[in-house]
Structure 1
Amino acid sequence: MALQRILSLLLLLLLTLLGLGLLQPSYGQDHMYQRFLRQHVDSKVTNRNESYCNLLMQRRKMTSRYCKYFNTFIHEDIWKIINICSTTNIQCRTGEMNCHESGV
């Protein structure tokens, strides 16, 4: 009886550890996705003046620790961005192979 209880507890522990291991990667991907959206997507642009980028970076709390010298914002719907990112990588002007061609 005690052996069966120990085996049940070990099985529960194993399942818990497996569950945590399976959840962690998806959480990390979701965190990276949310960070990308916050730092690089602004589909609802209303006023693009000289201070637009600096103000948006401040609003999105991107300047609290240090100020990025250069940042880019994509002014498109997230679904259009996802479609572009799912295309084949092409060579960038820098020579790296991590750029995408929109086909537009």
Structure 2
Amino acid sequence: MGLAASSLTGISEVVMALQRTPASLLPLLLTLLGLVLLQPSYGQIPGYQRFLREHVDSGVTGGTNTYCNMMMQRRRMTLPRCKGFNTFIHEDLGNILSICRNNNIRCRNGQMNCHAGVVRVTDCRHTGGASGPNCRYQARASTRRVVIACNGNPLVPVHLDR
């Protein structure tokens, strides 16, 4: 069986499965299928994966020095040297993505691809005591306005501007 025939067989199986699915579940299944198809394209946008690694920690409150010390090391921001300052955003990814749909504002570099929103954060500031990889940080938890640069179609966060 050739590749084209194999692909058609796979599509036919999906169509038959959808026909057997109760009508009330179809919108949910189609939404999930759309999300699965969209998600890999997010990973292709330069800066998106790095933004997630350096700035997103959903579902926790953070806020302690221990949290900053652990997360900065876990997220690889203590080698080869200590990153001086970093912000972790404690919102689910949907809330962060929605910031990219807010009105455009000017970024610090002059580009017009930034967007502002209010989120829960932990700011981690290097205390200057230890060096990589055993960096030490002071934490400050707050709810504040952040400015995020977004790129792509659909727009996704690629840089925490301030």
Under a length normalisation based on structure 2, what TM-score does the superposition of the two structures give? Answer: 0.39
Question: Partners in 1 of 2:118 and 2:66 — Cα distance?
Answer: 31
User: Max radius of gyration: which structure?
Assistant: 1
Q: Deviations over 1:48-70 (max 9, x none)?
A: 31231221010112212221111
Equivalent position SS for 1:48: coil
1:1-104 → structure 2 map (5 Å cutoff): 28-29=44-45, 32-45=47-60, 47-90=62-105, 99-102=114-117
Q: Which runs of 5+ in 1 are unaligned?
A: 1-24
Q: Deviations over 1:9-47 (max 9, x none)?
A: xxxxxxxxxxxxxxxx97641x52111101000112155
Equivalent position SS for 1:100: strand
**Could you say what the CA RMSD is over the residues aligned between the two structures, in angstroms?**
3.1
Q: Deviations over 1:60-101 (max 9, x none)?
A: 122122211110011100111011122112357x7x666533
RCO comparison, higher one (Cα < 8 Å, 6+):
2
Structure 1 stretches of 4+ with a deviation exceeding 6 A read: none
Flag the structure with higher helix content.
1
Flag the structure with higher strand content.
2
Under a length normalisation based on structure 1, what TM-score does the superposition of the two structures give? Answer: 0.56
Q: Which runs of 5+ in 2 are unaligned?
A: 1-40, 120-162
**How many residues end up aligned between the 2 structures?**
78
- Residue 6 of structure 1 is matched in structure 2 by none
Question: Partners in 2 of 1:80 and 1:72 — Cα distance?
Answer: 16
